[in-house]
Amino acid sequence: MASNKAPHETATTKIFHCRLIPPRPDFTFTMTKEERELMGRHADYLRGKLREGVMIMAGPVADPAGPWGLLILRVGSEAEAKAVTDGDPVAKSGRGFRYEILPMISTIM
């Protein structure tokens, strides 16, 4: 019988929707040079998580209320998802970024 599980997925794997909320609603359009450099480190960090098989996808969302970042993770627990988001350079920067982490109830992948 064929499996409908994605590569790297196990019985204990969970999918988490992580929303990166920037420090201000117009952040995407008003970044300073230092903030652009920080976003470069953020992107490099996420590329590493993709290579590790932890991240499924990430990118900015064009929300009319203000853009925010989407991060979809495949990990074993919410604590593991929090460890990934806490390790993100933007989260560690002290510049007002924050993540909301929500478990997916079910997924079709």
Question: What is the rounded distance in angstroms from the CA atom of residue 77 to the CA atom of residue 62?
Answer: 28
1-11 pLDDT, tens digit each: 343 444 444 56
pLDDT digits 0-9 by tens, 32-73:
999 999 999 999 999 999 999 999 999 999 999 999 999 999
Q: Which residues contact 35 (CB under 8 A, 6 or more apart)?
A: 27, 95
| Mean pLDDT over each residue of the chain, to the nearest integer | 92
Which residues, including other chains, have CB under 8 Å from residue 38's CB and lie 6 or more apart? 89, 90, 93, 95
Cα–Cα dist 109/100, whole Å: 22
pTM: 0.87
Give residue limits of the domains in the chain: 14-103
The Cα 93–Cα 106 span in angstroms is: 33
52 contact partners, CB below 8 Å, separation of at least 6: none
Q: Which CATH number fits domain 14-103: 3.40.50.1820, 3.40.50.2000, 3.90.1150.10, 3.30.70.1060?
A: 3.30.70.1060
**Residue 29 reports pLDDT greater than 70:** yes
